[in-house]
Amino acid sequence: MESKTLSWENLTRGDCTLNNGVLTLFDDGRVSWSASVRSSDASGPFSDSDSWQMTITLQDAYRNPIVTLPQLGSPSMTSDNMSYSWNQDFPSVPAVAQRFNDITRASSSSHC
């Protein structure tokens, strides 16, 4: 089974930080996401917790979109400055299996 990885180093949105995001794609269509997230104000006066939401679009070498994955959602971050592991799997994304060799990059949008 063949796989490839796409990485996100550090992203900051408001008081939230994402570190070491890794998206692993498998030639059978499986997709696996892992990262760590934290919030410096998870228990602030306007909310009980923070959660990172992210949308990822897989692209070919020319930045043409191939497929947009279902939205990813981190665990609720309820403690300030605590690192939370974020792991999420998609058992079958047909476009990943069909276009595996064409996928070379990704774009993402996110908020927390």
Q: What integer pLDDT is reported at residue 44 of this predicted model?
A: 60
pLDDT value, residue 1: 86
Which pLDDT score, from 0 to 100, does residue 49 have?
76
pLDDT of amino acid 50: 83
The pair of structure tokens assigned to 107 is 């774009």
Structural domains in the chain? 3-111 (2.60.40)
Is 106:59 a contact under the CB 8 Å cutoff? yes
User: For residue range 35-93, what is the model confidence (pLDDT) as tens digits?
Assistant: 999 988 766 665 667 888 999 999 999 999 999 999 999 998 888 888 999 999 999 99
Nearest to 52 by CA among 16, 83, 85: 16
Q: Which residues fall within 8 angstroms of residue 19, CB to CB, at 6 or more apart?
A: 9, 10, 35, 36, 37, 38, 83
Instruction: Give the model confidence (pLDDT) of 8-36 as tens digits.
Output: 989 998 888 999 999 999 999 999 999 99
> Is 25 in contact with 103 (CB distance < 8 Å)?
yes
Q: Token pair 């971050």 is at which residue?
A: 77
Position 40 scores a pLDDT of: 84
Amino acid at 107: S
